[in-house]
């Protein structure tokens, strides 16, 4: 049913400038016969903008479902008209905490302690609270059973900024059952679980929630993979992010980095990785390098050079011991901005490596226009050395090209002695791969770091 109103995702984006679209879409949702309360609970972020957009707030005011928003402390910042009707009184912006009704009672009729209000729990534990039945007591003493659906709201960096609550009147049990089932994501005809697109979206949201917790709780750890000169001397390590998920086991960075990029968490994740890697390397007795992968999205804000400078300052790591690995995507999307950021980073003394070279656009113009110090030959070429003639030709050409431009060349994904021999013969500067050392906890390489 949700597909009936195509493009609803726009609600989650471009807010609040897309306010006009939002009303149209809300109307479409209602017309498509979609349960509005389920819709709101699934996309609270879209509605959260109401707190800052008076015009949209007036639209929300027409909704038949009670919706209110608080700041991170639980102080009321917005409520719609249905909320006032539900509560039987005019809620007080800035004064009401966690709830808008006169008093909250448990299902059994006993008063709830304020810190047990569902919104208080949602904000304290930074998680949505679902399936709790409570009673609202109105000033006139009447009571109404209802289900609150509080959902914490986060900004792009993963910081808790407030809470969104939707109150579902369940006094008309029969009437409410379908809506509750949908909100609880149980199987209900036309409910959220019946919609594969929404099930996928829910999974993504769950993953993002866990990822946000993992970043905040320091559960994203780093492993280190050594890089060697051809004479066998270790030069440094590449830091690779690892996430041990509470139920799904270890999740590959190839999965969670794109999720973090899509979910607005990459800045927080990138800062955590950078800080951890620099701190770790600063503790090594030998002045070895550490390479950190940087997402193209980290270049979208202008903060990257300032962050790097602050982290170097804070950890005391020599700038020339830090290498940032970027991909061609950085240079393709906004070349001028990338150039400005990379120049600032080079001016700090930080090294810049172009990762996965050969897989993307591989435009030669990047190589001399941008201030690169290192080129990393993608492991797909190394893997086919000895298998296809082209791989040898391309690898040889990349090494020569790098050297002609005064850029150091690293081959990644070296798995066999034959590959290593070829790279040594061709004059590749550094090698990295399972043959020489897998990514492991830093402690496993203590004999190399000193």
Determine which residue in the list 83, 225, 227, 431 makes contact with ligand C2E, applying CB under 6 A. 225
Contact assessment for residue 19 and residue 57, using Cβ atoms and an 8 Å cutoff:
no
The b/e string for 164-177 (b: 16+ C-beta within 10 A; e otherwise) is bbbbbbbeeeeebe
Determine which residue in the list 287, 434, 441, 446 makes contact with ligand C2E, applying CB under 6 A. 434
| Whether residue 16 has a cis bond before it, omega within 30° of 0 | yes
To ligand C2E, the closest distance from the beta carbon of 274 in angstroms equals 8
Q: How many residues bind Mg ion (CB under 5 A)?
A: 4
In this complex, which beta carbon is closest to ligand C2E, that of residue 49 or of residue 433? Answer: 433
Under rule CB under 6 A, residue 240 binds ligand C2E: yes
In this complex, which beta carbon is closest to ligand C2E, that of residue 239 or of residue 312? Answer: 239
Question: Of residues 304-333, which lie at the interface with ligand C2E (CB under 6 A)?
Answer: 325
Determine which residue in the list 49, 128, 263, 413 makes contact with ligand C2E, applying CB under 6 A. 413
Task: Report the C-alpha gap between 362 and 239 in whole angstroms.
Answer: 24
Contact assessment for residue 285 and residue 449, using Cβ atoms and an 8 Å cutoff:
yes
Task: Report the C-alpha gap between 16 and 355 in whole angstroms.
Answer: 37
SS3 419: helix
Under rule CB under 6 A, residue 263 binds ligand C2E: no
Stretches 147-155, 205-213, 291-299, 422-430: which one binds Mg ion (CB under 5 A)?
291-299
Stretches 16-24, 78-86, 111-119, 288-296: which one binds ligand C2E (CB under 6 A)?
288-296
As a whole number of Å, the end-to-end CA separation of the chain is 62
To ligand C2E, the closest distance from the beta carbon of 159 in angstroms equals 20
Task: Report the C-alpha gap between 268 and 259 in whole angstroms.
Answer: 13
To Mg ion, the closest distance from the beta carbon of 257 in angstroms equals 11
Determine which residue in the list 37, 293, 315, 374 makes contact with Mg ion, applying CB under 5 A. 293
Choose the one of Mg ion, ligand C2E, none that binds residue 165, judging by a C-beta under 5 to 8 angstroms depending on kind.
none
To Mg ion, the closest distance from the beta carbon of 421 in angstroms equals 21
Task: Report the C-alpha gap between 61 and 63 in whole angstroms.
Answer: 6
Determine which residue in the list 355, 408, 426, 429 makes contact with Mg ion, applying CB under 5 A. 355
Task: Report the C-alpha gap between 373 and 323 in whole angstroms.
Answer: 9
- Closest by CA to 165, choosing from 47, 53, 35, 62, is 47
Determine which residue in the list 35, 96, 328, 356 makes contact with Mg ion, applying CB under 5 A. 356
Determine which residue in the list 170, 241, 410, 448 makes contact with ligand C2E, applying CB under 6 A. 241
Contact assessment for residue 5 and residue 46, using Cβ atoms and an 8 Å cutoff:
no
Q: Is 206 exposed, middle or buried (0-12, 13-18, 19+ CB in 10 A)?
A: exposed
Under rule CB under 5 A, residue 298 binds Mg ion: no
* Token duo for residue 170: 């369940």
Choose the one of ligand C2E, Mg ion, none that binds residue 167, judging by a C-beta under 5 to 8 angstroms depending on kind.
none
SS3 345: helix
Determine which residue in the list 253, 319, 360, 386 makes contact with ligand C2E, applying CB under 6 A. 253
Under rule CB under 6 A, residue 356 binds ligand C2E: yes
Choose the one of Mg ion, ligand C2E, none that binds residue 13, judging by a C-beta under 5 to 8 angstroms depending on kind.
none
In this complex, which beta carbon is closest to ligand C2E, that of residue 49 or of residue 296? Answer: 296
Q: Is 338 exposed, middle or buried (0-12, 13-18, 19+ CB in 10 A)?
A: buried
In this complex, which beta carbon is closest to ligand C2E, that of residue 198 or of residue 294? Answer: 294
Task: Report the C-alpha gap between 305 and 348 in whole angstroms.
Answer: 8
> Which residues in this chain contact ligand C2E in the complex, by CB under 6 A?
225, 240-241, 252-254, 257, 273, 293-295, 325, 355-356, 379, 412-415, 433-434, 439
Per CB under 5 A, residues contacting Mg ion are 293, 325, 355-356
């Amino acid at each position: 049913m949700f597909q009936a109103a195509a493009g609803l995702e726009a609600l989650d984006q471009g807010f609040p400038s897309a306010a006009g679209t939002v009303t149209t879409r809300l109307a479409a949702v209602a017309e498509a016969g979609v349960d509005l309360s389920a819709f709101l609970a699934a996309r609270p972020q879209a509605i959260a903008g109401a707190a800052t957009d008076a015009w949209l707030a007036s639209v929300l005011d027409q909704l038949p479902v009670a919706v209110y928003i608080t700041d991170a402390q639980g102080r009321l910042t917005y409520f719609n008209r249905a909320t006032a009707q539900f509560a039987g009184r005019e809620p007080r912006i800035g004064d009401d905490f966690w709830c808008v009704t006169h008093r909250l009672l448990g299902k059994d009729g006993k008063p709830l302690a304020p810190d047990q209000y569902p919104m208080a729990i949602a904000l304290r534990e930074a998680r949505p609270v679902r399936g709790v039945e409570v009673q609202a007591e109105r000033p006139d003493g009447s009571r109404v059973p209802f289900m609150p659906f509080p959902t914490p709201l986060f900004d792009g960096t993963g910081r808790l900024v407030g809470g969104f609550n939707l109150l579902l009147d369940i006094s008309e049990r029969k009437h409410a059952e379908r809506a509750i089932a949908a909100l609880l994501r149980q199987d209900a005809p036309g409910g959220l679980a019946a919609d594969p697109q929404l099930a996928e979206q829910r999974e993504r949201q769950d993953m993002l929630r866990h990822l946000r917790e993992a970043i905040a709780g320091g559960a994203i750890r780093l492993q280190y993979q050594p890089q060697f000169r051809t004479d066998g001397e270790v030069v440094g390590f590449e830091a690779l992010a690892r996430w041990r998920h509470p139920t799904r086991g270890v999740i590959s960075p190839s999965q969670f980095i794109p999720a973090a990029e899509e979910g607005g968490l990459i800045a927080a994740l990138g800062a955590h990785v950078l800080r951890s890697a620099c701190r770790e390397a600063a503790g090594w007795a030998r002045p070895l390098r550490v390479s950190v992968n940087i997402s193209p999205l980290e270049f979208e804000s202008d903060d990257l050079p300032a962050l790097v400078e602050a982290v170097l300052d804070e950890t005391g790591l020599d700038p020339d011991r830090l290498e940032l690995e970027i991909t061609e995507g950085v240079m393709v999307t906004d070349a001028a901005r990338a150039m400005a950021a990379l120049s600032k980073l080079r001016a700090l003394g930080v090294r810049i490596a172009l990762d996965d070279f050969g897989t993307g656009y591989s435009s030669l113009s990047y190589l001399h226009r941008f201030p690169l110090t290192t080129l990393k030959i993608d492991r797909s070429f190394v893997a086919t050395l000895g298998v296809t003639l082209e791989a040898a030709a391309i690898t040889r050409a990349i090494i020569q090209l790098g050297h002609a431009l005064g850029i150091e060349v690293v081959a990644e994904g070296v798995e066999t002695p034959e590959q290593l021999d070829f790279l040594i013969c061709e004059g590749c500067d550094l090698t990295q791969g399972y043959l020489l050392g897998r990514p492991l906890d830093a402690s496993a390489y203590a004999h190399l770091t000193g």
